[in-house]
Amino acid sequence: MRNLLSAMLLTALPLFGFGAEKLAVGAALPAVTVNDQDGKPVDLAKEGAKGYLLVYFYPKAKTGGCTKQGCSLRDGWADLQKAGVQVLGVSTDGEKLQKEFKEEQKFPFRLLADKDKKVTEAFGVKNITGLFASRTAFLFKDGTCVYADHKGHTSDQAQVVLEFLKSANK
């Protein structure tokens, strides 16, 4: 009975965001492909092979904190572009909801529909109650992680990234 309970617990841990190892600074950008809001496949390793790529995760499109996080990046877009940063947003929402969210908020970057949780699992991002990605962000330079934000920034996500870049380039 004890072994059965242990096995059940270990099987259920990923549903609650435990067991997946978080991507660390120095790690390679995971080679995973998922569709964007328009149904077009995006190969993350290819996207981030050269230059800076920010991959940020949010729990649910069209919700308060997630909208603030995305709008921070939208509003900081000009400065992020000057710094050479491209952006990809990721949640476990489907393509249709991602498209609506992108259009309503006028995001200049693509949103990835990670319904099968391939991206969240590859990055070691917790899936809250097995359904929603936890708020996390990773910055890559030439395919290598140079910054990981596990604090869940919302309205200051762009500023946090820009401050990191400023301090890293001193």
Domain boundaries along the sequence of the chain: 18-168
Q: Is the pLDDT of residue 61 over 70?
A: yes
Lookup: tokens for 127: 């899936």
Mode of pairing for the β-strands spanning 33-35 and 41-43: antiparallel
> In 3-state terms, the chain is what percent helix, strand and coil (to 5)?
40, 25, 35
Q: Which residues are catalytic?
A: 66
| Cα 98 from Cα 96, distance rounded (Å) | 5
If pLDDT is split at 50, 70 and 90, which confidence band does 130 have?
confident
Angle subtended by helix axes 64-75 and 95-105, to nearest 10: 50
Lookup: tokens for 108: 């200049």
Which is the CATH superfamily of the domain at 18-168? Glutaredoxin (3.40.30.10)
Contact between 143 and 137 under an 8 Å Cβ cutoff? The reply is no
Q: Is the pLDDT of residue 5 over 70?
A: no
If pLDDT is split at 50, 70 and 90, which confidence band does 43 have?
very high
Q: Where are the alpha helices (DSSP H) in the chain?
A: 2-12, 44-47, 64-75, 77-82, 95-105, 118-123, 157-168
If pLDDT is split at 50, 70 and 90, which confidence band does 127 have?
confident
The dihedral formed by the CA atoms of 132, 124, 150 and 65, expressed in degrees to the nearest 10:
-20
Which has the closest alpha carbon to 52: 137, 154, 118?
137
Which has the closest alpha carbon to 106: 71, 69, 139, 137?
71
Highest-scoring range by mean pLDDT, 10-14, 112-116, 147-151: 112-116
